[in-house]
Structure 1
Amino acid sequence: MSSLSDVRLSVLDLAPIPDGSDAGTALRNTIDLARHTERLGYHRYWVAEHHNMPGIASSATVVLISHVADATERIRVGSGGIMLPNHAPLIVAEQFGMLEALHPGRIDLGIGRAPGTDQRTALAVRGSRAALSAEDFPQQLAELMAYFEPDEGRAVNAVPAAGNKPPFWLLGSSGFSAQLAGMLGLPFAFAHHFSARNTLPAVRLYRESFRPSATLPEPYLALGAAVFCAETDERAEWLAAPSGLTFLSLSRGRPIPLPSPEAAAAYPYTEVERQIIAGRMDSNIIGAPETVRKGLEELVSDTGADELIITTMTHGHEDRLRSYELVADLTH
């Protein structure tokens, strides 16, 4: 049975934009956090693709990955993930082949099939209603992977993808990607932080579907986990509260910058709103170090995860740095 000391710790960053701040500051904070977590010994640093979100600055994911890789030395850097239906497979292959060529052995290509936004914005990203369906995802993925293989007389090649293939990951929040990742023999990252009710079924399906591949002889499972760690349980709850208000606004189609703890505390929640937030935050691991240790140990024990990819969205940058410090200390 796995324990917390047996798993790798990694980072998922959405480059949060706090209320009263701006995207430039958020992106500089991402670079600072990447350097900080590299020093703390985190294994990989992923950034997520979201569009039309006033509280998230990581929309141009590949650009941000490049800057993070340039600013660090050892930590793996990648996408958590690239939403493949938003992009032509050729372009993704060119971009990640170039990243791998520039930073050999440090780049991850995590792929998802969701739009990373609402349907109206997805239409603006993809350019046509015909491209909005996710049904073509397996074919898009196969095309993308083929561009990284040696030229076999293809009329179109992705330069410099051939010979510069980063590890592929599939990301998901349901059983579809879990099963596909298993069938292809790929590592799988499940979004436990926003789809906790599907975690155990998806994990089981991934392992049952797994077929060894040339790059992965056994299943490899990473879980996205939302964690808020501070010196006391009360302080951690205070820092986590803005995420609940952010989700509430998003669920009503009104995304907002990340509010301050003071704004979250002052909001006049109805009982129904409190229930909505509680349902979302229930899977978050929030508290002082020992509280967080117990939560993470339970998650690892229940799932047998090989890696935890931790996301922490706090209004204050120093609070986010400190949370990752305290979590890193749990494994020492």
Structure 2
Amino acid sequence: MFPLSVLDLSPVASGSTAAQALRNSLDLAQLADRLGFTRYWVAEHHNMPMIASSAPEIMIGQIAAATSRLRVGSGGVMLPNHAPLMVAERFKMLEALYPGRIDLGLGRAPGTDPATSYALRRRQGITEEDDFLDRFNELMLLESRAFPPGHPFANVTAMPSDVPLPPIYLLGSSDYSAQLAGHIGAAFGFAHHFATFDAGEAMHLYRESFKPSPSHEKPYAILATHAICADTDAEAERLAGTVDLNFVRRAKGEYLPLASPDEAAAYDYAPADRARIAQNRTRMSVGSPETVKARLMPLIEATQAQELMVTSMIHDHTARKHSYELLAGIFA
């Protein structure tokens, strides 16, 4: 089986609740475990009514406890929101509890709007500049205990001290992120599902820039993409209406729970909305197993991805589970 994984944002569906969305994530993770998926990553987003996943460390522990084989990780922890010591200790604890099954995926963005970002970071001495690399270096120095003598953190130990950090992945959607992932010796997860940069070029830049690190001796590239699979093309198109309307609403600053396919079909789309939908559909694979396979295989070949990670923002939980069942069949 070609390595196939899940990226889950715990989508909140209209007519349901965020609490139910989190329970759905646990249920989907157990299905992915049974189907032979490689890993299951959960996101960090804030102040978005359509996404229930705001604390990936908590969900990682819950999912790892409810499964037996899956690697479970963050897709990702938004490092600008967190003190590096806190990230180190939380993921060391997870690694201690579930050895060999935890991934530490890091993101460079705050995963929210500017006001919420300020609320998250107001005690941290916020800077307008991108401080990801400074925070990452601090995380690595905490892990290696390599702060120079006299440094304020020289005697700070991330606990539990006898447990290593899990493997590190950098998530990104640009040429800069690809090169940075290679430079720091992380595995790389490219967010094809919302990127405007070419996925094949990003993977090339990553491999070209890669330098071995304690976390990874060789480059490892994951392609994250959006796929909706159903028994027929027509049914998949119906389900994808949810994504179409969600994309249109987000472009207008409306972060509402996921609409049902019926709600999406009844929406009065303007010509500009249709254009946005068409653009977004270039990043999606929608259809029957045969149609989705025909869409995904050239993408995998073009990027030389070593693993495919799929997100599916489907309104109905049963339909979302079935989509992943069909995907597993494609790559079995």
Q: Residue deviations 1:87-116, cap 9 Å, x none?
A: 111111111011111111100000011111
Map of 1:17 onto structure 2: 12
Distance 2:171 2:129 in 1: 14
1:223 equivalent to 2:218? Answer: no
**Which stretch shows the higher mean deviation, 71-80 or 180-189?**
180-189
Distance 1:215 1:260 in 2: 42
Map of 2:308 onto structure 1: 308
Q: Which runs of 5+ in 1 are unaligned?
A: none
Q: Where do residues 1-332 of structure 1 align in structure 2 (5 Å cutoff)? A: 7-127=2-122, 130-131=125-126, 133=128, 135-150=130-145, 154-160=154-160, 162-332=162-332
- Normalised by the size of structure 1, how large is the TM-score? 0.94
Distance 2:161 2:314 in 1: 37
Distance 1:231 1:161 in 2: 50
**Which stretch shows the higher mean deviation, 134-143 or 110-119?**
134-143
Contact 1:93 1:161 in 2 (8 A): no
Shift of 1:218: 2.4
Q: Residue deviations 1:44-90, cap 9 Å, x none?
A: 00000000110110011111111111111110000000000011111
Amino acid at match of 1:280: N
**What SS class does the counterpart of residue 50 from structure 1 fall into?**
coil
- Paired residues in the alignment total 327
Cα pair distance change 1:163/1:173, threshold 3 Å: same
Distance 1:192 1:44 in 2: 18
Shift of 1:150: 4.9
Amino acid at match of 1:88: A
Contact 1:85 1:134 in 2 (8 A): no
**What SS class does the counterpart of residue 188 from structure 1 fall into?**
strand
Distance 1:196 1:69 in 2: 33
Q: Residue deviations 1:108-130, cap 9 Å, x none?
A: 00001111111111111111695
Cα pair distance change 1:59/1:227, threshold 3 Å: same
Contact 1:85 1:132 in 2 (8 A): no
Q: Residue deviations 1:150-169, cap 9 Å, x none?
A: 57772222111553320011
Identity %: 50
Q: Residue deviations 1:251-287, cap 9 Å, x none?
A: 2112000000000000000111110121122210000
**What SS class does the counterpart of residue 262 from structure 1 fall into?**
helix
Cα pair distance change 1:77/1:274, threshold 3 Å: same
Cα pair distance change 1:242/1:301, threshold 3 Å: same
Contact 2:168 2:215 in 1 (8 A): no
Which aligned segments of 4 or more residues in structure 1 are displaced greater than 4 angstroms? Answer: 150-153
Distance 2:219 2:184 in 1: 11
Amino acid at match of 1:78: G
**What SS class does the counterpart of residue 236 from structure 1 fall into?**
helix
Amino acid at match of 1:181: A
Distance 2:312 2:165 in 1: 30
Q: Which runs of 5+ in 2 are unaligned?
A: none
Distance 1:274 1:128 in 2: 42
Distance 2:127 2:76 in 1: 18
Contact 1:122 1:132 in 2 (8 A): no
Amino acid at match of 2:137: A
**What SS class does the counterpart of residue 109 from structure 1 fall into?**
strand
Cα pair distance change 1:162/1:127, threshold 3 Å: farther
